Amino acid sequence: MLGLMAGLGFGQTSSQDWADEVLYFVIVDRFADGDLSNNIKVDLDGKGAFHGGDLRGLTQKLPYLSELGITALWITPLVKNIDDYTDAIGFPDWAYHGYWADDFTRLDPRFGTESDLRELIEKAHQRGIKVLLDVVYNHAGYGSHYIQDPATKAWLRYGSACGEDDLTSCIAGLPDFRTEDAQVRDYLINAQLHWAKSFDLDGFRLDTVKHVDHPFWSENRKRLREELQRPFFLVGEVWGGSYQVCDPWFERDEMDAGFDFTFAGNVISFVQGRGRTIAFSRYLQKRHQIRAGYQMAHYLSSHDVPGAFYQLKGDKKRFQMCVALQLSTLGIPVIYYGEEVARIGGDWPDNRSDMPWGDNQTLPGKALPQDTDMFDFYRHWIALRKAHPALMVGTYRELSTDGDVLVFERQDPESGERVWVAANRSGLETTVMVPAQDGISALEDGLNGDRPSLTETGWSLTLAPLQVRVFVTERKP
C-alpha cells in the first residue's frame, strides 16, 4: 500500500503543515469589488465579462472568512491578462478568471496593485489564514504578446504546430509554452519566483500539471526550495486526479498535494442512494492509501465542473450530507466560494457566478440572497473538524454498513483520539446497532452533546433522515 511507503525525505514539512487546513477557493473578479476605480470594461450582466471583484474587496471580506472558520485562501491568477475577448463560444468571454496571461511579470490592474496584494496577505496572516496563489506555466492567453513579439514567438506552439498528446496539445486553442525548452522553462519559473519572493505567499496552486513534463516540475520544486529557503506548499491540478493518478508527481516529490477529482462524484452518488453503502465505505478507506507525507484536496464544486448543490437540484439536506462527509474525511477540504451560503452555481459559465452578499451593498453580488442557515452549518462542521484532529489525519475503520447507514471510526495516530461518523442517507429516521468497542466507555454527539446508550447488543445510534452525526468517544479508565 502506498500509505505504508516511507516518505522521500525531501522537506515534506510544508505538506504536513497543511494536513489540517480548510481551503477556500475564490475567483477574485466574482467575489467582492472594493475599489471601483480599477473597474475596466465591467459588465455585470455579461456572463463572460469582468464583474469588478478585486484584491481590496477580498481583503475587506477577511472577517467574513474568519467567521466561517477557513484557514487557507486560494486565489485565481493575478498576472496581467489579455485585454481582448474571444466570442468563439457564442458570447464575449474575457479573462476575468486570470488564466489567459499576457505578461507574467506584472499584476493585472483590474485586480488591484502590488500594495493591495501585500495588504491582503499581511491581513490574512494576522487572522491565521494562509494564502495560495494560482499560477499557470503551460499556456498564455489568446493573442498574447508572447506570440506577437519576435523574441518570444518561438517559445509557443499554436495553430498547426499544436500536437495531440498531453504535453504538446494546445488546451482550448490557447498558445502552448514549449516548457521542455530550457530558455522557456527558466523564464517561466523566474517569473513565478518573483511573486513568491516579493510577497509572503504560502504556496502555489499549479494549473494544468499533466500538460507540463516531469523535468520541469522537478526544476520548479528545486528552484523554489533553494531560493525561498522556507516551507512553500504546492498543490497541483492533475485533471482526473486521485491518490493513484497523482502518485507519479508525489513519487518524484514535485508537489505536496493534488486535487481529488473522484470525491464529489462518489459522495453525491452515495447521498442520492446510488450504489451500496459498503462500496462508498471502501472508497473512503482506499483514499487512505495515499503515499505517506502527501495530501489530496477534495472538493464538492469548482470553476471547471457543475457544483454539487446544482447536481443535487438544490436539495439542501443531501448537500449538507455531502458537506459533513467532506469535512469528516481525510484530505484538505476545499470550499468553492459561495457554497457556504447556497450559491447554486450551475454548469459553465454559471458555476462562476457572483458571490451572493444578500442585503449587503457589496458588488457585484449585492442583490443575490444568502442562506445564513447553510453558513451556520458550515461554520459548525468546520469548528468540529478543527476540534478533533482525528477527523483531519485519523485512520479509517469501518464499523457498520447496514442498509443506508454508514458508520466509520477515525483515530488520530498520535493522540489515540477516536471519533465516530454516522451517515444516514435514507428518508427515514433509522437506528443502527454498532457492537461495543474495546476501550470505549461513552459516546457524545460532537454538535449537540447527546449521549447514545450502550445496550447488551452494542451502541444504539439513532439518525434523522439524511443526517450525519459525529460522536466523540470517551476511553475507559
Binned at pLDDT 50, 70 and 90, residue 10 comes out as very low
Q: Where are the alpha helices (DSSP H) in 8-145?
A: 13-17, 28-31, 55-60, 62-68, 114-126
Whether 301 and 345 have beta carbons less than 8 Å apart is answered as yes
Q: How far is CA 456 from CA 224, 435, 440, in A?
A: 59, 9, 15
Tens-digit pLDDT profile for residues 180-237: 999 999 999 999 999 999 999 999 999 999 999 999 999 999 999 999 999 999 999 9
- Please report whether residue 240 resides in a domain: yes
Q: Flag whether 78 is in a domain.
A: yes
H or E segment to which residue 194 belongs: helix 182-198
pLDDT at 90: 86
Mean pLDDT of 73-83: 98
pLDDT at position 3 = 39
Q: Per-residue DSSP letters for 277-334?
A: HHHHHHHHHHGGGSPTT-EEEEES--SSS--HHHHTTT-HHHHHHHHHHHTTSSSEEE
- Residue-level pLDDT at 456: 87
Spatial contact of 445 and 431, defined as CB atoms under 8 Å apart: no
Is 162 within a domain?
Answer: no
| Residues 422 and 359 placed together within one structural domain of the fold | no
Mean pLDDT value of segment 321-348: 97
Number of domains into which the chain is organized = 2
Residue in this structure with the C-alpha cell 454498513, named with its chain if needed: 401
Is the same domain home to 241 and 118? yes
- Read off the pLDDT of each residue in 398-408 and give the average, rounded to a whole number: 97
Mean pLDDT for the stretch of residues 392-398: 97
Are 423 and 365 in a shared domain? no
CB within 8 A of 1, min separation 6: which ones? Answer: 289
- Give the pLDDT confidence score for residue 16 in this predicted structure: 59
User: Furthest-apart CA pair in the chain: how many Å?
Assistant: 81
**Mean pLDDT computed over every residue of the chain:** 94
Which residue among 387, 421, 455 closes a domain? Answer: 387
| 192 shares its domain with 273 | yes
Let me know if residue 159 belongs to a domain: no
The verdict on 275 and 259 lying in the same domain is: yes
- Over the stretch 254-307, which tens digit does the pLDDT of each residue have? 999 999 999 999 999 999 999 999 999 999 999 999 999 999 999 999 999 999
**Whole-structure pTM value:** 0.95
Nearest to 75 by CA among 202, 241, 177: 202
The mean pLDDT of 96-125, rounded to a whole number, is 98
Please give the residue range of the domain that contains residue 425: 395-475
pLDDT at 477: 56
pLDDT score for 474 = 84
Residues 404, 382 share a domain: no
Q: Where among 343, 365, 387 does a domain terminate?
A: 387
How far is the C-alpha of 320 from the C-alpha of 314, rounded, in Å? 11
Average pLDDT over every residue of 83-99: 93
Which CATH number does the domain housing residue 249 bear? 3.20.20.80
| Residue 346 located in a structural domain | yes
pLDDT of residue 29: 98
Cell numbers for 224, please give them: 523554489
Mean pLDDT confidence for 424-437: 96
Final residue in a domain of this structure, among 367, 387, 407: 387
Question: 429 and 297, same structural domain?
Answer: no
Question: How far, in Å, CA of 58 to CA of 34, rounded?
Answer: 7
Residue 173 lies in a domain: no
Q: Residue 324: inside a domain, yes or no?
A: yes
Q: Is residue 29 part of a domain?
A: yes
Give me the helix-helix angle, 182-198 and 214-228, nearest 10°: 40
Are 381 and 403 within one domain?
no
Whole-number Å distance between alpha carbons of 192 and 79: 10
Query: What does the pLDDT read at residue 182?
Result: 97
Dist CA 42 CA 28 (whole Å): 14
- Cβ atoms of 17 and 391 within 8 Å: the answer is no
User: Is the same domain home to 280 and 302?
Assistant: yes
Residues in contact with 196: Cβ distance below 8 Å, sequence separation at least 6, in sequence order:
204, 224, 228, 232
- 230-255 pLDDT, tens digit per residue, is 999 999 999 999 999 999 999 999 99
List the grid coordinates of 272: 442520492
399 and 374 in a single domain? The answer is no
Residue 11 has pLDDT above 70, yes or no: no
Q: What is the pLDDT of residue 2?
A: 36
Q: Is the pLDDT of residue 328 over 70?
A: yes
Q: Backbone phi, then psi, for 270, in 5-degree steps?
A: -60, -50
pLDDT at residue number 13: 44
| CATH code of the domain containing 466 | 2.60.40.1180
Q: Taking 80 as the threshold, does the pLDDT of residue 14 lie above it?
A: no
Same structural domain for residues 355 and 453?
Answer: no
Pairing of β 440-445 and β 257-260: unpaired
Same domain, 373 and 357: yes
